[in-house]
Structure 1
Amino acid sequence: MSDSDDDIPQLSAATLAALQEFYTEERDGLVQSTAPVDKYSVGAVEEDWRMSQFWYSDETATRLVEEVIHEAGKGGRIACLSAPSVYQKLKQGVVEGSDGVSAVVLEYDRRFATYGQEFIFYDYNEPLALPEDVAPQSFDVVLADPPYLSEECLNKVAQTVKYLAKGKVLLCTGEPHIAVSVLGLVPFSIPHTTEYGHSYTYQNDMPLSAAFKKI
């Protein structure tokens, strides 16, 4: 080693190992931002495609919240069934009338348990396995987005919807013909935040409220 090499600062083996671990975590996307995040912001909980999660765009979530608030009325109760991004947008309090309604989110993903008593664990494979304090026909509006497109999934979600709803239902699904046959609802177009979202049927000049129907 030359005299000039002696002048170059050397890192210890432990420091080098720590740096390598940091760069590995950064490469794998495991280093998380320390900036505070609004727990109700859409996307605060990242999509997990393994659970068929595709969040709505901010514009779509806002439009759906406006609709359920209007249909629920002041003091109304809203159930967001497998639609956490709608629940999140509602809880942000940025949509007029959101402070005049209450809401719960029914979800399989337990990461949403951060919302406390407003989170209800839900597995569509057991459509009526709900807590005892969730009474039948206790919600003025039920907004549901079944996690899968199969007829089996939609049929089971429909059982839950019929149990929860007093009468008004907004169902979002990529299989509108099944929605019509199971619940008699009218399909409409809904965009998601990613290109992997469902492809929805759209009917022109149809107000969003046309998707609501007594069941």
Structure 2
Amino acid sequence: MALTVPPPRSPIDGGLARWYEHELGWATAPGPPVQLVTGLRFDVLELPAPAGHGVLRRLGAAVGPVALMGRRMRLLVAAGSAEELPGLLDWLEWGGISLDLAMLGTGGRMTAPLPPGRKPAGRSGSGVPEAAVWLRAPEPGREVESSLPALRPSLRGRAAEADSPCLVRLVAAAAAECHRVRLLSAARGRRPEPVAGADAQQRGAQRLASS
């Protein structure tokens, strides 16, 4: 039986992988393009780019790292968060409502954007799509679970507000923004939307305020 030998990693891909592995301690999978392995140091909350920009406006500079690839935005969250998403959406009363919201967790992959300060060489040069970019790049010392949005018991007091938002608050904002984008898209297409989505948004906000 003939063995399939993977093609050698290009110098550019090798340098990209080394940056993530040595500077941030993140596992990579060979490309092209180079992939970041999710579920180890972080999970990824993925949503449409317009909804993602709405989340960033709501929650401010504390959210990050944040990557953009084409029309999808990826918000890095603490490892293990992917398992919490369905339960959180149910608790916030978004369960059963169509939201273009997903999580990448254990066994997942995301295309590695170029590190800060590096210029893309194009698809044929680096193998990294030019659309894969950091909007808020990871920094050494602020790239691990303790500095990413995670499920915490509470977020009360000024000290907590200065910290990164908890996963509950992030998911609540993401769900509301995804629903808003869907409603706007439906309005442009003149398609009627059920009232249940708006009701769920109000009830979810009430639950979040009382937590």
Q: TM-score, normalised by structure 1?
A: 0.30
Structure with the larger RCO, 1 or 2 (CA within 8 Å, 6+ apart): 2
Greater C-alpha radius of gyration: 1
